[in-house]
Amino acid sequence: MSAVVIVLEIVIILACLLVGAHKGGIALGLISGIGLVVLVFGFRLEPGEPPVSVILTILAVIGCAATLQQSGGLDVMMQFAEKLLRRHPEQVTLLGPLVTWTLTVLCGTGHVVYTMLPIIADISIKKDIRPERPMAASSVAAQMGVTASPVSVATVSVVSILADNTGVGWSVPQILMVSVPASLSGVLLAALWSMRRGKDLDKDEEFQARLADPEFRANVYSGSETLIGKVFPREAYRATAIFLGAIAVVVVLGAIEKLRPLFPTGDAGELEPLSMNLVIQMVMLAAGALILLTCRVDAGRIASTAVFKSGATAMFSIFGVAWMTETVVSAHLDSLESGLAGMLADHVWAYAIVLFIIGKLVNSQAAGLLIVAPMALQLGVDPVVVVGFIGASYGYFILPTYPSDLAAIGFDPTGTTRIGKYIVNHSFLVPGLIGVATSCLVGTALARLLLG
C-alpha cells in the first residue's frame, strides 16, 4: 500500500510540472500550490522546508542585474561583445557561442542573450554563413553558462545543497573549478560541430529559391541590428564596473574563507564562517544600491526590466516546485533509500538522466538541482558525482519551447534556425546534446580529480 501511495504522490508532482510548464510564466509555481494542498490536506504529509535561502539569493542577484540593465551597463557589455564579433565575422559560429556563454557567466542568467541574437544573425547573413550554425549554438551556450557563473542560482544552490545534506564545505570557487571548464568544453565542442552544419547561404538551393520572393529578400537583407556607435553616459560604464567588481568580491570571499566573519552555529556554539548564500545576497544588494545611488538610475523602472521579470518568474517557479517536491521526499525518505539507494550507487548515470529529465520538466537548471540533488545525496549518491554532473541540469533544449530558443528562431530572417516537421528535429537538439554530454564527461573527470 505504501508503494501505491508514493506512486500516486509522484504522479501528482509530475502532473503539476507538466501543466505548469505547458502554461508557462509563473504558472509552474502556482500549479505547484495545488499539488501542495493535495499532498498536505489529502495525503496528510508534513510540509517540507521551502527553499527560502535560495529564493532570497535569486532576489538579490536579479535586483542587482536589473539595476545594471536599467542603468545602461548591460548594453555596455553587449557593445563590447558586438565589437569582438564584427571584428572577426568569419568566426561568428565559434565566437558567438563564446560571447553568449561569457555574458551568462558574468550576469548569472541566460536571458541576457536576447540582445546578441539579432546581431549574430546580421553578421552571419553578411558573410553568407548559415545563421542556424551560430544562432542555435549561441542559444545553447547561453544556457550552459548558468552552471559556470559564480552568481547564478544553480551554482549557489549546489553549494547550499551539499552543505545542508552532507556537511561538505566546498566553496563556490571549488565548484567552479569543475563546472567552468566542463561547461566551456561543451560549448566549444558544440560550436565546432556547428561550423560544418548545413550549407552556406550562397550554396543553399532552398534559400536561394526563396530569395526570388521580393518580400522575403527585403526581410533578410533589411537594416542591420547594431549597438556599434551608440554612445553611453559615464554612469553606464560606472555601473558595469561596480557589477563586475561585485562578482570579483564574491569569488574572492568564496575562495578565501578567512575573509568572512565567524559566527557561532548550532547548540555547540562552534564558530563557522558566514555562508556564501548570505555573502552573495549582501554583496549583490550593496552593488545594486551603489549603482542606484551613483549612476542616475530610475528606481521606479527597475522592476519593469526584462532581467527582473525573467528572474522573478524563475524565483516563483522554484518556490512552488522545490517546496512541493521536498514535501514528498521528506515524508518517504526511508522508503526511497531502501528502494533507490543501491541503484543510484551502482548506476551513477541514473542520477544524471533523472536530473536531465526534471530540468526539462521544470525548465530551470536551479529548480532541477533543488529537486533532484538533495534527494540523491540523501539516498547515498557521492557528492563528487553531484558536482560532476551539474551540467545535466540543462535539459530544456529537448523541446524547442524555451524563450531563448524561440527568440533565436524569431531573429533569424532566413528561416534556417527552425523547428522541424517532427518537433524534436529542431536546430538546438544536436548542439544541446553535444554540449551536455561533453560537460558531464569533463565535469565527472575533473570532480574526481579535484574533489574526490
pLDDT at 110 over 90: no
Q: Residue 265's beta-bridge partner residues?
A: 270
Backbone φ/ψ region at 296: left (φ over 0), alpha (ψ -120 to 50), beta:
left
Do 436 and 391 form a contact (C-beta atoms < 8 A)?
yes
- Share above pLDDT 90 across residues of the chain, in percent, rounded to a whole number: 37
- Residue 63 CA to residue 51 CA, distance in Å, equals 18
What mean pLDDT value characterizes the chain?
A: 86
Q: Is the pLDDT of residue 439 over 90?
A: yes
What interhelical angle do 132-144 and 429-450 show, nearest 10? 40
Q: Compare 268 and 352 and report the one with higher pLDDT.
A: 352
**318 or 46: which leads in pLDDT:** 46
- Single out the residue of 134, 259, 238, 124 nearest to residue 194, CA to CA: 134
* Cβ-contact 179, 394 below 8 angstroms: no
Could you give phi then psi for residue 363, rounded to 5 degrees? 55, 40
* DSSP state string for 262-315: EEEETTTTEEEEPPHHHHHHHHHHHHHHHHHHHTT--GGGGGGSHHHHHHHHHH
- Using a 10 angstrom Cβ sphere, with 0-12 exposed, 13-18 middle and 19 or more buried, the burial of residue 96 is buried
> What percentage of residues in the chain have a pLDDT greater than 70?
94
Residue-wise pLDDT for 374-393, tens only, equals 888 887 888 999 999 999 99
Give the helix/strand (H/E) hosting 34. Answer: helix 27-37
CB 35, CB 16: distance < 8 Å: yes
Question: So what's the pLDDT on residue 336?
Answer: 62
Instruction: Using alpha carbons, list the distances in angstroms from residue 62 to 89, 202, 298, 314, 399.
Output: 32, 43, 16, 10, 26
- Residue 179 in contact with residue 155, Cβ under 8 Å? yes
DSSP secondary structure string for all residues of 362-376: HT-HHHHHHHHHHHH
Please answer whether residues 99 and 138 qualify as being in contact, where contact means their C-beta atoms are separated by less than 8 angstroms: yes
Which amino acid would we find at residue 330? S
Give the residue with greater pLDDT, 293 vs 403.
293
Q: Select from 99, 192, 198, 200 the least CA-distant residue to 142.
A: 99
What does the pLDDT look like over 19-73, one tens digit per residue? 886 776 788 789 989 999 999 999 999 998 887 877 887 788 889 989 998 999 9
Report field, pTM of the whole predicted structure over 0.85: no
